[in-house]
């Protein structure tokens, strides 16, 4: 959580940093701020409570020019959202400024000590502790060596932190440090200019040449390049990478919201997820980066999927895929639970983390637990070069492109595809998937992007979802039901609705209805069902009837050619009929659009729902 951007070069830094912050606003929007060394050599600070637009207005009213700057967008941890708690924070002499992503866990102890030594605090944040510590070390025993002072200060911090430091006395450099799983720190290489950011979209407009900093690493960044070292001061060489995302992929284009763009680009993103992975010549799946040896795949006794939120629901669908096709038992666990329950882990187990950001702190901790237990670890991950991709034995990229809307959409469908690819791969390695069935699935997967594109095109050119939103945005409670492979889709549909429109929605496995939730049904509580023509179709129809018998309204995600359900449900959200294994990937799309339109109709801030941030890098 929180986003950091830094620039050092010859160009005007203000627009570069503001644009970078815009791309990172999904990480937090409680306040925003920047520090710029102006052309007269003065260190200027601009900070504002609330969204970045407030900071932009302030910068418009009080412009500042310079070619070195750091910026920050905040998701509040220590201290409420306010201007005084907005980053950057500065040293008592006003010379050193710091932006931080993360948490100083021993903040109280350090703050008390610093206060005892005469430091006055101007904010409630833990970040201010860091800048005072740097100031203290700089003036005591570091011989005015800024890098050494930062190293010593960072050495006193507990908990995950990523920081960028600027000192007026060293105008030619920015210093960055990363401790623990504080979210990404990416250094971008330009032409006689350098960037630093929490995530790639912030700098994608300027460069695709990057290096990722790891735990306990520091960087001294000048206009000409970066020198890396560990926290102990030992020099390091970091691998440079070329990111293959295009700059437009992180922009909103003609769409009103990132979420809307990300929903409607799923035809394309699914093509990218599948690219190079379907080998029709041999009817096999290519997953080179998974690094799973055939003997390890054959010997697997258990697969555990760990994830949070939407990624967890993807995992529930993955359980169906893997158990059906690879005949190995799968447990799916919330990463936040798994990490604390002393899980049973063995060398004959594969632990798969699903994470869009690759930085979710609970998911990373769950992976560590699995690694310590000797399991083979793999990540299904979207963010290139992120921590999850780097710490695992193998990974499968989602290749969904940057996802900026806080509510996850295209990463969900990409992770479903990756899970299906993994299940087919395991099924083939373990000899549990007949060749004809594998060939059929490959064929069905190849049709998926086209079908998704048509579904989305029809939805966008029609008015169905706006009409549904018009009719239903006034309701306060919704029930979402699904069964079998589409039960997790009901959970995901309910999550989408609640997180962006703030309407209470509960997802349930349809068969559980009569064990409790049916008591809620009345004309005030619409029910959304996923009722496709699959092996549980008849059972879903009988659920629809039970809801109707209690005067409930039913909105059904149903196959477009299903005449029968049209006479049962009140409203139909059509999807094409496909192989059962592919069906969840399409069935979720109407629910994403419904949630989006409902939130728009209610006038909510779709891309930045209250209290949420996209990368959950704190517990």
Catalytic annotation, residues: 2, 614
Segment near ligand F6R (CB under 6 A), from 17-25, 53-61, 305-313, 436-444? Answer: 305-313
The window from 173-181, 208-216, 307-315, 574-582 that contacts ligand F6R (CB under 6 A) reads 307-315
SS3 state of residue 573: strand
Which CB, 243 or 612, lies closer to ligand F6R?
612
Contact between 309 and ligand F6R by CB under 6 A: the answer reads yes
Smallest gap from residue 400 Cβ to ligand F6R (A): 11
Contacting residue, 304, 310, 336, 608, with ligand F6R by CB under 6 A = 310
As a whole number of angstroms, the distance between CA 491 and CA 332 comes to 14
For residues 88 and 45, give the distance between their C-alpha atoms in angstroms, rounded to a whole number: 8
The contacts of residue 222 (CB under 8 Å, 6+ apart) are 8, 172, 173, 194
CA distances from residue 79 to 62, 75, 127, 163, 423 in whole angstroms, order as listed: 26, 10, 10, 18, 45
Alpha-carbon distance of 514 to 516, in angstroms, equals 5
Nearest CB to ligand F6R, comparing residues 123 and 592: 592
Check residue 608 for interaction with ligand F6R (CB under 6 A). Answer: no
In the complex, residue closest to ligand F6R by CB:
309
CB of 617 to ligand F6R, least distance (A): 10
Nearest to 480 by CA among 437, 524, 517: 517
- Looking at beta carbons only, is 14 or 363 nearer to ligand F6R? 363
Between 97 and 616, name the residue whose CB sits nearer to ligand F6R.
Answer: 616
Minimum CB–partner distance for residue 381 and ligand F6R (Å): 8
Binding mask 488-517 for ligand F6R (x = CB under 6 A): -------x---x------------------
- Dist. CA 168–CA 131, nearest whole Å: 13
**CA–CA separation, 593 and 460 (whole Å):** 9
What is the pairing mode between strands 504-509 and 477-482? parallel
Instruction: State the minimum distance, in angstroms, from the CB of residue 310 to ligand F6R.
Output: 3
Closest alpha carbon to 35 in 79, 91, 101 = 91
Q: Which is nearer to ligand F6R, 367 or 479 (CB)?
A: 367
Residue for token pair 């008390």: 112
What token pair was written down for 443?
């064929």
Strands (E), 121-255: 161-167, 174-179, 186-189, 194-197, 209-212, 217-222, 225-230, 235-236, 241-242
Does 126 sit near ligand F6R (CB under 6 A)?
no
Per CB under 6 A, 308 contacts ligand F6R: yes
The minimum distance between CB 162 and ligand F6R, in angstroms, equals 16
The answer to whether 77 and 90 are in contact (CB under 8 A) is: no
Indicate the pairing of strand 217-222 with strand 225-230.
Answer: antiparallel
Name the 3-class secondary structure at 597. helix
Give the interface segment with ligand F6R, choosing from 78-86, 101-109, 306-314, 431-439 (CB under 6 A): 306-314
What is the token pair recorded at 96? Answer: 């050193």
Query: Which secondary-structure segment (H or E) carries 70?
Result: strand 68-74
Out of 207, 311, 349, 543, point to the residue binding ligand F6R (CB under 6 A): 311
Could you tell me the smallest distance in angstroms from the CB atom of residue 499 to ligand F6R?
A: 6
Give yes or no for residue 407 binding ligand F6R (CB under 6 A).
Answer: yes
Q: At what angle do helices 146-155 and 127-139 cross, to 10 degrees?
A: 130
Q: Among residues 33 and 482, whose Cβ is nearest to ligand F6R?
A: 482
Q: Which of 355, 377, 527, 583 binds ligand F6R (CB under 6 A)?
A: 355
Q: Least distance (Å) from ligand F6R to the CB of residue 380?
A: 9
387 binds ligand F6R (CB under 6 A): no
Q: What does the angle CA 303 – CA 398 – CA 240 come to, to the nearest 5 degrees?
A: 110
Single residue of 18, 274, 285, 616 touching ligand F6R by CB under 6 A? 616
Of residues 334 and 475, the one with the C-beta less far from ligand F6R: 334
Q: Which of 360, 486, 501, 617 binds ligand F6R (CB under 6 A)?
A: 360
* Residues 485 and 584: beta-carbon distance below 8 Å: yes
Query: Measured between alpha carbons, how far is 12 from 68 in angstroms, rounded to an integer?
Result: 8
> In the complex, what is the shortest distance from the CB of residue 90 to ligand F6R, in angstroms, rounded to a whole number?
32
Select from 31, 44, 363, 486 the one that contacts ligand F6R (CB under 6 A).
363
Number of residues that bind ligand F6R (CB under 6 A): 14
Contacts with ligand F6R, residue ranges (CB under 6 A): 308-311, 355-357, 360, 363, 407-408, 495, 499, 616
């Amino acid at each position: 959580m929180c986003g950091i951007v830094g620039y050092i070069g010859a160009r005007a830094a203000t627009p570069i940093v503001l644009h970078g912050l815009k791309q990172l606003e999904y990480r937090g929007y409680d306040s925003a701020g920047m520090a710029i060394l102006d052309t007269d050599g003065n260190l200027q600070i601009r900070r504002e409570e609330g969204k970045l637009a407030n900071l932009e207005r302030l910068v418009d009213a009080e412009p500042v020019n310079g070619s070195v700057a750091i910026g920050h967008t905040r998701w509040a941890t220590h201290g409420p959202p306010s201007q005084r708690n907005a980053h950057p924070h500065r040293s008592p002499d006003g010379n050193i400024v710091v932006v931080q992503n993360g948490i100083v866990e021993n903040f109280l102890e350090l703050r008390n000590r610093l206060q005892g030594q005469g430091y006055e605090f101007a904010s409630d944040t833990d970040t201010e502790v860091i800048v005072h510590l740097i100031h203290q070390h700089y003036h005591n025993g570091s011989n005015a060596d800024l890098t050494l002072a930062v190293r010593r200060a960072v050495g006193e911090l507990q908990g995950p932190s990523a920081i960028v430091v600027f000192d007026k006395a060293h105008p030619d450099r920015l210093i960055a440090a990363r401790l623990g799983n504080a979210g990404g720190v990416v250094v971008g290489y330009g032409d006689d200019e350098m960037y630093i950011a929490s995530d790639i979209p912030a700098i994608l407009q300027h460069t695709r040449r990057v290096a990722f900093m790891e735990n306990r690493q520091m960087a001294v960044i000048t206009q000409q390049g970066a020198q890396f070292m560990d926290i102990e001061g030992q020099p390091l060489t970091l691998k440079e990478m070329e990111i293959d995302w295009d700059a437009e992929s992180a922009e909103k284009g003609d769409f009103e919201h990132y979420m809307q763009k990300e929903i409607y680009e799923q035809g394309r993103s699914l093509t990218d997820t599948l690219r190079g992975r379907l080998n029709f010549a041999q009817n096999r799946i290519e997953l080179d980066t998974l690094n799973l040896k055939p003997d390890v795949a054959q010997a697997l006794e258990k697969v555990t999927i760990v994830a949070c939120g939407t990624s967890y629901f993807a995992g529930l669908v993955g359980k169906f895929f893997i158990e059906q096709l690879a005949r190995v038992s799968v447990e799916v666990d919330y990463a936040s639970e798994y990490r604390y329950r002393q899980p049973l882990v063995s060398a004959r187990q594969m632990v798969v983390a699903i994470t869009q950001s690759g930085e979710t702190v609970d998911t990373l901790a769950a992976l560590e637990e699995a690694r310590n237990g000797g399991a083979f670890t793999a990540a299904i991950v979207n963010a290139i070069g992120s921590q999850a991709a780097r710490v695992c034995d193998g990974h499968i990229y989602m290749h969904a492109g940057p996802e900026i809307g806080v509510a996850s959409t295209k990463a969900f469908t990409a992770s479903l595809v990756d899970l299906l690819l993994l299940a087919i791969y395991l099924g083939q390695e373990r000899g549990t998937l007949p060749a004809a069935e594998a060939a059929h699935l490959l064929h069905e997967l190849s049709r998926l992007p086209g079908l998704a594109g048509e579904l989305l095109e029809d939805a966008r050119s029609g008015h169905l979802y706006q009409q549904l939103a018009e009719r239903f945005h006034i309701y306060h409670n919704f029930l979402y039901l699904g069964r079998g492979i589409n039960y997790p889709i009901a959970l995901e549909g309910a999550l989408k609705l609640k997180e962006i429109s703030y309407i209470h929605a509960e997802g349930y496995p349809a068969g559980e209805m009569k064990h409790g939730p049916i008591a809620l049904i009345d004309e005030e509580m619409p029910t959304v069902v996923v009722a496709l023509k699959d092996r549980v179709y008849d059972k879903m129809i009988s659920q629809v009837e039970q809801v109707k018998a209690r005067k409930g309204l039913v909105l059904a995600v149903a196959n477009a050619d299903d005449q029968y359900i049209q006479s049962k449900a009140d409203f139909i959200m059509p999807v094409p009929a496909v192989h059962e294994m592919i069906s969840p990937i399409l069935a979720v799309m109407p629910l994403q659009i419904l949630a989006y339109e409902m939130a728009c109709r209610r006038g909510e801030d779709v891309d930045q729902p209250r209290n949420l941030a996209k990368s959950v890098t704190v517990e």
